[in-house]
Chain A
Amino acid sequence: MRGDHSEHSFVRTAIGHPAFVTGFVLSALFVALALISFVWTPFDPTRLAISNKLQSPSPQHWLGTDHFGRDMLSMIMVGARVSIAVAFVAVGIGMIIGVPLGLYAAARRGSLIDEIIMRGNDLVFAFPSLLLAIMITAVFGPGAVNAIIAIGIFNIPVFARLARGAALSLWTRDFILAARVAGKGRTRISAEHILPNIANLLIVQGTIQFSLAILAEAALAYVGLGAQPPLPSWGRMLADAQTLISLAPHMALIPGFAIIITVLGLNLMGDGLRDLFDPKLRRGRG
């Protein structure tokens, strides 16, 4: 619950949580790289220099160059921007649409609207996320925006279900009853009392969904349905690397490590946040 401990002590507990700190540092590293890429990259990530192609990491090109002689570090930095932006907006779409739907369904539990919202969720869940994304990009064409929509749609039921489930248990609590007696409407109670109390849960799930979105974006870009050239993207860097893997393994290893570290960081951070928000769960959940 909110207000159990002050902000200050929360930060202190967080700093003492190794998984959270590791995750935070790893994720922050890539957010920082993405932000820096707006003002500075070692080289222009789209500049071709064929004479420099397929170089292994060196003092000049820290992460080597690709088959067109582009600087890998610069591409990773701009790729981080693409990955993080796509994932951020996709999870945002899921939250902004899914949470109100879930709250509404919980407030009108058992009504026709509740039933429709939940069955709609089931339907979206029945489409394997990747298949949904492939179908959407097949229809509307490949590109970062359509990748965002595809991943975003899949996130809606995730948040709607989570919000509904958590809100339902709160609706039976005394403080909600008190608010109803005080004459507050369902919408106001949902916004003023339910939402703040499920915010922690939403943040934890948001972190996990963020990491899943980064993986999904990479997969879509890998099959050519994500961000389009010349915009660098981690998934497409891997696709480029595939045929050259025995010649220049660094082309495959580096973007792979970038994805793994970012996703690992987000997952550790999510697990850490869950522990920190709810010490009862600390007893070794999976």
Chain B
Amino acid sequence: MTAYLLRRFISLSLSLVAASLVIFLVMEAVPGDPASFMMGINADPAAVAALREQLGLNEPLPLRYLGWVAGLLQGDFGVSYTYRVPVSELIAERVMISLPLTLYALALSTLIAFPAGILAAARRNSATDLSVMGATQLGVAIPNFWFAMILVLVFAINLRWFSAGGFPGWDAGILAAMKSLTLPAIALALPQASILARVMRSSLIDTLDEDFMRTARAKGLSRSQALRRHALRNALIPVLTIIGLQFSFLLAGGIIIENVFYLPGLGRLVFQAITQRDLIVVRSVVILLVFAVIVVTFLVDLAYAAADPRLRRRR
């Protein structure tokens, strides 16, 4: 197990380094000089040059990369070109919306997908199964931002149960904040719940066909007892992989959904930063999201290895 952990950890570190290099180089390729952008069109060239110096833009590329990484390791993302505040402050503020939104959506997705998938598998080829599968086909085909607009039309504009967008802040109380995240979370969760339900169903069906299930039935367990005690646990591994993957989809999908609901999360921050050429913010948010994905994937891998010793040897 120690050797496995070590190997996985080295590969994790290499991924993080490679990802940071790619992001840094791509962002360097952006046309336009941030210093002249900040100072405006009529800026004095001397002032622009001074600002370039102050931002460290004149240093050689490798040095700038190392400086950036060293800063990242200490939690220092640099100072936003446009807001003139530390990027870490901006991000910390926005994460408080994006992360709860992602987790809320993940919880919803799991809560919808598990019963739906289990029901469909337990009643394979019945009308229930067909309707669940039909619904999931539709669920994967619906663009989540369009679904978000329809949710706004029905539940915010017509029924007035929710607000159409915006965020009252956590100071307004957890209930009010969660309420404003509910429609976005539903919109985000729908396609993911559909995928998860399909995986749950097919994984459970595969397990139900295994010999040990026949043994369980033969020793006198009822169908539902056998399903609960033996099949579910074994079917969960592929389902967990998908849940891990979904975290990254939801986090990235949030970028679009936040724009539909005018939520001041990381997604909105990235878009504003792109239009304002605030590259240091774009770079920081992107690397944060990519790191989150890599680390979550790593943790999911570890969870399997803990659950299933066979997987430790196979890699």
Given contacts A126-B297, A128-B289, A260-B141, contact A242 B255 (CB under 8 A): no
Given A119-B14, A128-B290, A286-B203, 20 further pairs, Cβ under 8 A: A123-B19, A123-B22, A126-B19, A126-B290, A128-B248, A128-B251, A130-B253, A136-B26, A219-B145, A223-B259, A242-B149, A242-B260, A245-B149, A252-B146, A259-B146, A260-B146, A263-B140, A264-B141, A285-B202, A286-B201
Docked-complex contact B286 and A131, CB < 8 angstroms: yes
Residue B305 lies at the interface, judged by CB distance under 8 Å to chain A: no
Beta-carbon nearest neighbor of B291 in chain A: A126
A window 120-134: CB within 8 A of B: 122-123, 126-131, 134
Complex interface: chain B residues within 8 A of A286 (CB):
198-203
Could you tell me the distance in whole angstroms from the C-beta of B153 to the nearest C-beta in chain A? 5
Q: Could you jot down 25 A-B contacts, CB within 8 Å?
A: A123-B18, A126-B290, A127-B293, A128-B252, A128-B293, A130-B256, A131-B255, A134-B270, A135-B23, A135-B26, A136-B26, A139-B26, A211-B141, A245-B149, A245-B157, A252-B153, A256-B143, A263-B141, A264-B138, A267-B141, A284-B201, A286-B198, A286-B199, A286-B202, A286-B203
Docked-complex contact B138 and A260, CB < 8 angstroms: yes
A window 271-286: CB within 8 A of B: 283-286
B window 166-202: CB within 8 A of A: 198-202
Docked-complex contact A260 and B149, CB < 8 angstroms: no
Residue A33 lies at the interface, judged by CB distance under 8 Å to chain B: no
B window 279-311: CB within 8 A of A: 282, 286, 289-290, 293-294, 297
Complex interface: chain B residues within 8 A of A284 (CB):
124-125, 201-202, 205
A284 to B121, CA, bound (A): 9
The answer, among A131, A135, A267, A283, for a CB contact under 8 Å with B140, is: A267
Docked-complex contact A218 and B143, CB < 8 angstroms: yes
A183 to B198, CA, bound (A): 45
A77 to B289, CA, bound (A): 37
A177 to B293, CA, bound (A): 41
A window 202-223: CB within 8 A of B: 211, 215, 218-219, 222-223
Residue B152 lies at the interface, judged by CB distance under 8 Å to chain A: yes
Complex interface: chain A residues within 8 A of B27 (CB):
139
Q: Mark B251-270, 1 if CB is under 8 A from A, else 0.
A: 11101100110000000001
Complex interface: chain B residues within 8 A of A123 (CB):
15, 18-19, 22
The answer, among A129, A138, A268, for a CB contact under 8 Å with B282, is: A138
Docked-complex contact A223 and B157, CB < 8 angstroms: no
Complex interface: chain A residues within 8 A of B289 (CB):
128, 131
B window 1-57: CB within 8 A of A: 14-15, 18-19, 22-23, 26-27, 29-30
Residue A241 lies at the interface, judged by CB distance under 8 Å to chain B: yes
Main secondary structure of the interface of B (DSSP, over half): helix
Q: Which of B198, B201, B290 has the most CB of A within 10 A?
A: B290
Docked-complex contact B252 and A131, CB < 8 angstroms: yes
Complex interface: chain B residues within 8 A of A255 (CB):
146
Complex interface: chain A residues within 8 A of B153 (CB):
245-246, 249, 252
Residue A238 lies at the interface, judged by CB distance under 8 Å to chain B: yes
A169 to B54, CA, bound (A): 57
Complex interface: chain B residues within 8 A of A260 (CB):
138, 141-143, 146
Q: Mark A93-134, 1 if CB is under 8 A from B, else 0.
A: 000000000000000000000000001001100111111001
The answer, among A215, A219, A252, for a CB contact under 8 Å with B150, is: A252
Binding site for A on B (CB under 8 A): 14-15, 18-19, 22-23, 26-27, 29-30, 124-125, 137-138, 140-143, 145-146, 149-150, 152-153, 157, 198-203, 205, 248-249, 251-253, 255-256, 259-260, 270-271, 274, 282, 286, 289-290, 293-294, 297
A128 to B248, CA, bound (A): 6
Complex interface: chain A residues within 8 A of B146 (CB):
218, 238, 252, 255-256, 259-260
A123 to B249, CA, bound (A): 15
Docked-complex contact B293 and A238, CB < 8 angstroms: no
A245 to B151, CA, bound (A): 11
Docked-complex contact A135 and B149, CB < 8 angstroms: no
A17 to B117, CA, bound (A): 24
A215 to B150, CA, bound (A): 17
A48 to B163, CA, bound (A): 33
Complex interface: chain B residues within 8 A of A283 (CB):
205
Could you tell me the distance in whole angstroms from the C-beta of B102 to the nearest C-beta in chain A? 11
Q: Mark A167-178, 1 if CB is under 8 A from B, else 0.
A: 000000000000
A241 to B150, CA, bound (A): 11
Beta-carbon nearest neighbor of B191 in chain A: A215
A143 to B201, CA, bound (A): 40
A119 to B21, CA, bound (A): 14
Docked-complex contact A134 and B140, CB < 8 angstroms: no
Docked-complex contact B30 and A138, CB < 8 angstroms: yes
Beta-carbon nearest neighbor of A255 in chain B: B146
Complex interface: chain B residues within 8 A of A136 (CB):
26
Pairs of residues from A and B, 10 with the lowest C-beta to C-beta distance, nearest first: A128-B252, A286-B198, A286-B202, A263-B141, A264-B141, A256-B146, A138-B274, A130-B252, A131-B252, A246-B157
